[in-house]
Amino acid sequence: MAVPPPHRAQSAPSHPGTPVAQGPSAQPSAPSRRSFVRAGVGLAAVGGAAVVGAGYFLYRPGNDRQLVFATLGQALHEVERLNAASVYALAPATAWSWSQTLEHCAQSIEYSLQGFPAPRSALFQATVGAAAFQVFALRGRMSHNLAEPIPGAPALNATATDASAALARLHKAVQDFAAHTGALHPHFAYGALSHAQYEQAHAMHLANHLSAFDGRTPA
């Protein structure tokens, strides 16, 4: 169960093989915020739907840890570290609970295997969505509205005080994705992705959400 954040949030401790939180100064090769905004404005020119999509992709919460994961395995390592600690949300980075966040991330992985319930138009996927994924892939992390549900997905459980069911669901989703050898369904925004691209998309998605949490290891 999430508890109120302390007066000053601490970065996640370093673990062997686990990415650590990275601030903006730690990524000199990443595109600047200004250049990314310019790219988003260009994408928004596609049409009215693109304007909405650009705002979704350009969203950047405050007080997040800016984690970077290359694989789902790395993401799960951080999930387990947080879950074993006294996990707490970093306000105002997210309004979701720890359980809701795990459930949402599990949904995203499940839908890549089952099909997304309400995908964006083919035009959106081929323009704004595809371009956004390329930008995220190049810089190694994504930015999106952390309070925005997957279109058409069932509402997240806002009353759960125990995250064990959501954690088990996320683990199963990752295992199912790793074992899947067939075609994957197009991402609701990015469109068609290969298995490797989808793993990167899922890892970036988890990194974005986990960046809004931190935890203290019990003494």
Residue ranges of domains in the chain: 29-216
Nearest C-alpha neighbor of 62 from the set 91, 100, 96: 91
pLDDT value at residue 129? 94
Q: Which long-range contacts (CB under 8 A, 24 or more apart) does 21-29 make?
A: 21/65, 21/66, 21/67, 21/211, 22/65, 22/66, 22/67, 22/68, 23/66, 24/66, 26/66, 27/66, 27/68, 27/139, 27/140
Nearest C-alpha neighbor of 202 from the set 123, 130, 133: 133
pLDDT value at residue 204? 97
pLDDT value at residue 44? 41
pLDDT value at residue 59? 58
Helix (H, G, I), strand (E, B) or coil at 89: strand
Q: Which residue ranges in the chain fall short of pLDDT 70?
A: 1-62, 217-219
Omega into 19 within 30° of 0, i.e. cis?
no
Q: Which token pair is 18?
A: 């686990």
Nearest C-alpha neighbor of 169 from the set 32, 69, 45, 76: 76
The backbone region for 29, taken as left when phi is positive above 0, alpha when psi lies in -120 to 50, beta otherwise, is alpha
